Amino acid sequence: MVNIMRMDVYRLVHGKSFWIFLVIIVATAALATGMMSAVTSPEFLQSMQSASDAAARSGFRFSITSGPDFDTSDYADVNAAIAMLSGDITQMAYIGKLFLNGGALTIMFAIFLSIFLASEFETGFSKNVFTVQPNRLAFLGARVVEIVVLAAVFVAVALAATLASAALFGLDLAPSPLPDFLLWGVLVTLVTAGFGMITALFVWLTRKMAVGIVVGVLLSAGLVTSILQAILLLFPDLMHLADFTLGSCMASLGQGLNVAGGLSPVHVACTALVFLVASAALSALALQKKDI
Amino acid sequence: MNVIETHGLVKTFGGRAAVDQFDMRVNQGDVYGFVGRNGAGKTTVMRMLAGLAAADGGEVRVFGTDPKEAGTSRRIGALIEAPGLYGSMTAYDNMMLKALALGLVDPKDKVRNLLAFTGLGAAGSKKTRHFSMGMKQRLGLALALLGDPDLLLLDEPLNGLDPEGAREVRQLIMHLNDQRGITVVVSSHVLEQLGKMATRYGVIREGRMVREMSAADVDQECSDFLRLDAANPTLALAVLQERFPALRFQSMPDASIRMFGSVDAGEVGSALNEAGIAIQGLYAHKRDLEEFFVEMMGAEYRG
């Protein structure tokens, strides 16, 4: 098991895809934070207000809202909202908006994992691996550990890049207590690893990179959770079951930790662990049953 | 000692038996030529021997144990179908991955030595997607040799090699067998090269072992023979067996008779004339290895 992990670390370090995805995460954080910093800067807000005032004086009337009651004060309202947003948003909520709520981080993780895990089978290198390590459970054990560790790396890079970018661009984020922030990071890691493990299951079932990517993206984008929620609308008594999906857990974490209406840390941790363990158990069956 | 032993091995795909009651024995030190048509089941057998596929029935023993046992699997080096390589990585990196998976001590030196041994010393830093087919086969062989295996399973290792490359790989295999005592099971359609290295043969047809024989047996069966077409082949065979007890006879499905050994066509003709058996044809013939195996692999072979 340790030897398989040593092999995989070598492949990660000497391959390209791992570094490419980390660069994409850093670039996303920097670009989004830079734009946020620009649109919430006092200079930008002032220039927007001046532009709308000047337009109003010259007889033009612009507004954001439509209908007969349009009003140039819309700009002032929006600017106030942006200013409030930039001033009051927490670190967790801001990172959630960038990487978690839309599924950006988990989508990138699922695509990366699909490439990493499926290429072994698509190239045929798996024949070398399984003649060396015929114990499929040892192989799976190594990969489960790697998926959790890689999820932690992706999350850590996303957090570090976002906070560093915020500091660089002078974006004020309300700080969170360190223990809360760390706990939140661990929960995000667990949920991300859960998404990764389901992706891995489909890769090992089909040995196809494309299947892993499609499944990973659909799950990470929240499509499956949305469909489940729609179905549960027909059964109001069972509506609470929608909280036991990875998508709901990530959506809750995207707001922060212990926020009103959010899911508890214990709930999120247990849900993520159940998905991790169940996917690993099904993966064990798939790996044992299928020939190489 | 049998390095490989299979009894009644069965492997089915979608209800069709790709390997059916397959028995095989490979001795320590053999270079075992594994011969069969495309789709006969060679690769499936190799995959089961390497522990990559599970048998649906029967038993497979390698070094007396299940090939999936950790101690056994490490003694097997396999190059089955195409060599599995990461095209975006160098030959050296591909080798390092397997060396690390094996947990080799001093993997870098072992990788460099094997690359040099297989003639890829200068191409180690080249990405394998730029390799020719022959270079990939050599790298596949180098990968199979990592960990100093006692048994090599080579499925079509000469594929894609030019005559010079095929000769070099054959010499490499013979060197490994001769100098390191590695037992080798090698399948190939290049029967000429196979004939120069194999010490034993096994012929598979439609998933069944047709026959196992030594290289000496093959040499004998490939020797000159007389082909006789007679009006009454059964009587002719009886007459000839009585008259020429030192010869070896083989009845063929087309009713012809083959006579092996030192024999004169005139004497055969005289013996049959004396017995009143009409001769329809009597020809001298020499089979080459390809003809011998093609006949055995084909449907007309009776054994």
Model confidence pLDDT, tens digit, residues B101-130: 999 989 999 999 999 988 888 888 899 999
User: Across the interface, do B81 and A124 touch by the CB < 8 Å criterion?
Assistant: yes
CA distance A248 to chain B (A): 38
The answer, for B93 touching chain A at a CB cutoff of 8 Å, is: yes
Residues B276 and B209 both lie in one domain? no
pLDDT at B188: 85
pLDDT at B302: 41
Of the candidates A3, A4, A125, the beta carbon closest to that of B86 is on A125
Test the B interface: residue of A13, A16, A131, A288 with most B CBs within 10 Å: A131
Provide the sign of the torsion angle of the four alpha carbons B114, B115, B120, B122, taken in this order: negative
Q: Is B67 part of any domain?
A: yes
Are A144 and A201 in contact, with CB atoms under 8 Å apart? no
d(CA A108, CA A41): 30
Of the candidates A2, A11, A291, the beta carbon closest to that of B97 is on A11
Q: Which residues, in sequence order, are bridge partners of residue B13?
A: B16
> Of B214, B236, B269, at which residue does a domain stop?
B214
Test the A interface: residue of B45, B97, B104, B136 with most A CBs within 10 Å: B97
The answer, for B195 touching chain A at a CB cutoff of 8 Å, is: no
For A10-21, the pLDDT digits (tens) are 999 999 999 999
Least confident of A81-85, A218-222, B162-166, B222-226: A81-85
Residues B209 and B77 both lie in one domain? yes
d(CA B161, CA B152): 19
Structure tokens at A100: 């978690």
Q: Is B22 part of any domain?
A: yes
* B53 → chain A, closest CA residue: A291
pLDDT at B301: 42
Residues A261-268 have a mean pLDDT of: 89
User: Across the interface, do B52 and A131 touch by the CB < 8 Å criterion?
Assistant: yes
Residues B241-263 have a mean pLDDT of: 87
C-alpha neighbours within 13 Å on the C-beta side of residue A16: 5
Residues B61 and B125 both lie in one domain? yes
Tell me the ipTM for this assembly.
0.79
Residues B206 and B274 both lie in one domain? no
Least confident of A96-100, A182-186, B146-150: A96-100
Q: Is B162 part of any domain?
A: yes
Residues B34 and B130 both lie in one domain? yes
Q: Is B296 part of any domain?
A: no
Are B153 and B80 in contact, with CB atoms under 8 Å apart? yes
Three-state DSSP state, A20: helix
Provide the sign of the torsion angle of the four alpha carbons A189, A208, B93, A139, taken in this order: positive
Q: Is B40 part of any domain?
A: yes
Q: What are the residue ranges spanned by the domains of chain A?
A: 2-37+91-289, 40-88
The answer, for B78 touching chain A at a CB cutoff of 8 Å, is: yes
Q: Is B294 part of any domain?
A: no
User: Across the interface, do A123 and B69 touch by the CB < 8 Å criterion?
Assistant: no
Residue B204 amino acid letter = I
Residues B126 and B266 both lie in one domain? no
User: Across the interface, do B68 and A7 touch by the CB < 8 Å criterion?
Assistant: no
The answer, for A135 touching chain B at a CB cutoff of 8 Å, is: yes
Residues B169 and B277 both lie in one domain? no
Q: Is residue A63 pLDDT above 80, yes or no?
A: no
* A13 → chain B, closest CA residue: B93
Are A134 and B51 in contact, with CB atoms under 8 Å apart? yes
Of the candidates A123, A129, A133, the beta carbon closest to that of B85 is on A123
d(CA A291, CA B191): 30
Q: Is residue B134 pLDDT above 70, yes or no?
A: yes
Q: Which residues, in sequence order, are bridge partners of residue B201?
A: B33, B213
Q: Is residue B300 pLDDT above 50, yes or no?
A: no
pLDDT at A77: 62
For B155-164, the pLDDT digits (tens) are 988 887 888 8
Q: In what order do the strands lie in the sheet with B2-13?
A: B16-27, B2-13, B57-62
> Of B162, B194, B214, at which residue does a domain stop?
B214
Helix (H), strand (E) at residue A202: helix A178-206
Are A221 and A166 in contact, with CB atoms under 8 Å apart? no
Residues B270-278 have a mean pLDDT of: 90
Residues B189 and B227 both lie in one domain? no
Q: Is residue A66 pLDDT above 90, yes or no?
A: no
Residues B177 and B260 both lie in one domain? no
Using CB atoms within 10 Å of the CB of residue A177, give its burial: 0 to 12 exposed, 13 to 18 middle, 19+ buried.
Answer: exposed
Q: Is residue A85 pLDDT above 60, yes or no?
A: no
Residues A234-262 have a mean pLDDT of: 85
**Set of chain B residues whose Cβ sits within 8 Å of the Cβ of A6:** 100-101, 103
**Set of chain A residues whose Cβ sits within 8 Å of the Cβ of B100:** 3, 6-7, 10
> Of B214, B240, B256, at which residue does a domain stop?
B214
- Domain ranges, residue B138: 2-214
d(CA B206, CA B18): 7
Nearest CA to B260 out of B231, B212, B202, B217 is that of B217
Residues B177 and B94 both lie in one domain? yes
Domain of residue B138, CATH code? 3.40.50.300
Residue matched to tokens 């990470």: A220
pLDDT at B266: 87
What does residue B10 show for φ and ψ, rounded to 5 degrees? -130, 135
**Set of chain A residues whose Cβ sits within 8 Å of the Cβ of B54:** 291
Nearest CA to B271 out of B251, B299, B244 is that of B244
Question: Could you tell me what percent of chain B has a pLDDT over 90?
Answer: 45
Residues B9 and B132 both lie in one domain? yes
Structural domains of chain B, count: 2
Q: Is residue B225 pLDDT above 90, yes or no?
A: no
d(CA A176, CA A180): 7
Q: Is residue A156 pLDDT above 90, yes or no?
A: yes
Nearest-5° Cα angle at B275, B249 to B252:
25
User: Across the interface, do B52 and A10 touch by the CB < 8 Å criterion?
Assistant: no
pLDDT at A75: 58
Q: Is B303 part of any domain?
A: no
pLDDT at A233: 84
Taking one residue from A and the other from B, the number of pairs with CB-CB distance under 8 angstroms is 88
The answer, for A7 touching chain B at a CB cutoff of 8 Å, is: yes
Residues B190 and B231 both lie in one domain? no
Are B45 and A106 in contact, with CB atoms under 8 Å apart? no
**Set of chain A residues whose Cβ sits within 8 Å of the Cβ of B51:** 130-131, 134
d(CA A203, CA A200): 5
Q: Is B13 part of any domain?
A: yes
